Chain A
């Protein structure tokens, strides 16, 4: 199996911060807004380098979305940033009206997504955001898996014309993708080729799936691992091709059971290549306080649970 090395744990939000600064240097139209979470979103470097292009909005997310839309109308490329819950659930209508229906070139930087936000607990842990953003016409939904990929995705998002939801996280996690690999919006990345089962993952569950694939290999099971960094538009071709090859699929995501990557993959396979699918997600639950790793285990999202789901999927072939 292809070997991936953790080059040192880093948070994906810092990948966003680094990418934002680079994007800002490359294009003077890139501007940024935050609702009192500049530090948490790692926007400090951008704000220091480009003070006139950085807009503090205070704790008023609804206005921030509208102001970003207004900036976009004048040709700017605004990245607005806050915690995932507060740039989705709290402002769903603003995003729907001002950004998607309004066709404005707004980039939503969504940090602390999912259960791994950790100790702050359920009020801040959105497990529904992918579903909300996927449901919006024209919205691109991206969920990179590590620091390097988040940095590259941020650069790609700055060059893309149209609304984007860029989802990343709080905790330090393994950094294992090639730092020089350009991010291609809408393209699945086959991380490991296999023949017995396909593990489809996004965000933090990509590393967990690679760990699961290693454990499965030790048991003689060959797992293909696909990183779906772009959840919408979905690389249907890659998913169908892999399902045709392995005959069964596991979808793992740091999201609840509804409307996320699992539903997206299932819909594609149901229509184009009916295949047994097992789902690894947070179920029909809210989160709770805990360390990120304890929560990933408790909510069944870590490598052992993914490996278990793979065996179930294989048994259904």
Chain B
């Protein structure tokens, strides 16, 4: 059942709490991008994707599939997989610990339900998603493949190889998303790579391009509706979600400092207070 925007907001708050508690327990991880993409992925997993944790298999027959190309965003990914019922929420406490199924970057070698493909070496997930889209078309399935890329990740040449491939093969069952938070580990994008106007670039590549506010559920859900309506157009869709790294906690917001490092214990307390508790409860 689709959630209301108010319910989605509550879930997103809980997911951000999960992210912060996971990385602080592990004393490592990537909270910044996880928090910028929280609202997008909350909408995707709760309201947009056709998926069923109870009957999940890695082949994803008859279901929508999701590939996390920006593999370092595991905190948000695992939280959403747990919160949608792929595995117990309590397991989030094992993130990055020895023997865990919740590896630092997604692994398919630990039998963790919900994870279709390993990722983490950047730039590769969009190609895998394109291959899945081809496979689903061969199987005459009408499901979608979703893929989340980072804006910094888009500096990888393979992203643009995949972009060309998806257009050439008319993969209109592929919906890619970019978490356009403008930050990467070494600083703002314009100071690291000068990747420039992603919207103009994807349009030039021949994709349907949608730009949306990645922290506004009306905007997010409308973007997904538009993207799904692109089926039949013969073109893949790229949704560029304008977001803020570290969104939701004042000292983390808008800075690259928490891309790959975690708050100190006293900062965690402050961050959780800012987010507030939810009826869903912590893991």
Task: Tell me the bound Cα distance from A71 to B116 in angstroms.
Answer: 12
- CB A233 to nearest CB in B, in angstroms, measures 19
Task: Tell me the bound Cα distance from A94 to B127 in angstroms.
Answer: 10
Q: Which residue of A lies closest to B129 (CB)?
A: A70
Q: B138 touching A57 by the CB < 8 A rule?
A: no
Which A74-108 residues have C-beta < 8 A from chain B?
74-76, 78, 93-94, 96-98, 101-104
- CB A218 to nearest CB in B, in angstroms, measures 54
Offer 10 A-B interface pairs, CB within 8 angstroms, sorted by A. A57-B165, A62-B123, A62-B157, A63-B164, A71-B134, A73-B132, A74-B135, A75-B135, A78-B131, A103-B118
Residues of A within 8 A of B130 (CB): 63, 66-67, 70
- CB A119 to nearest CB in B, in angstroms, measures 29
Residues of B within 8 A of A102 (CB): 108, 117-118, 128
Q: Which residue of B lies closest to A91 (CB)?
A: B158
Report the contact-size class of chain A (Cβ under 8 Å from the partner). 20 to 34
- Would you call A65 an interface residue if the criterion is a C-beta within 8 Å of the partner chain's C-beta atoms? yes
| Among all A-B residue pairs, the 9 with the closest Cβ atoms | A70-B131, A66-B127, A74-B135, A63-B161, A67-B131, A60-B161, A70-B128, A70-B132, A102-B118
- Would you call A181 an interface residue if the criterion is a C-beta within 8 Å of the partner chain's C-beta atoms? no
Task: Tell me the bound Cα distance from A40 to B129 in angstroms.
Answer: 28
Residues of A within 8 A of B109 (CB): 101, 103
Q: Which residue of A lies closest to B168 (CB)?
A: A58
Q: B158 touching A66 by the CB < 8 A rule?
A: yes
Which residues of chain A have a CB within 8 Å of any CB of chain B? Answer: 31, 52-53, 55-58, 60, 62-76, 78, 93-94, 96-98, 101-104
Q: Which residue of A lies closest to B117 (CB)?
A: A102
Given known A75-B59, A94-B124, A101-B109, contact A67–B168 (CB-CB < 8 A): no
- CB A108 to nearest CB in B, in angstroms, measures 15
Task: Tell me the bound Cα distance from A63 to B126 in angstroms.
Answer: 8
Given known A62-B157, A63-B165, contact A101–B135 (CB-CB < 8 A): no
Q: A60 touching B165 by the CB < 8 A rule?
A: yes
Residues of B within 8 A of A97 (CB): 118-121, 124
Please indicate which of the listed interface residues A31, A72, A73, A75 has the most CB atoms of chain B within 10 Å of its own CB: A73
Q: B121 touching A73 by the CB < 8 A rule?
A: no
- Would you call B162 an interface residue if the criterion is a C-beta within 8 Å of the partner chain's C-beta atoms? yes
B33-60 near A? 1/0 per residue, CB < 8 Å: 0000000000000000000000000111
Residues of A within 8 A of B117 (CB): 69-70, 73, 98, 102, 104
Task: Tell me the bound Cα distance from A66 to B71 in angstroms.
Answer: 15
Q: Which residue of A lies closest to B58 (CB)?
A: A73
Task: Tell me the bound Cα distance from A65 to B123 in angstroms.
Answer: 12
- CB A5 to nearest CB in B, in angstroms, measures 43
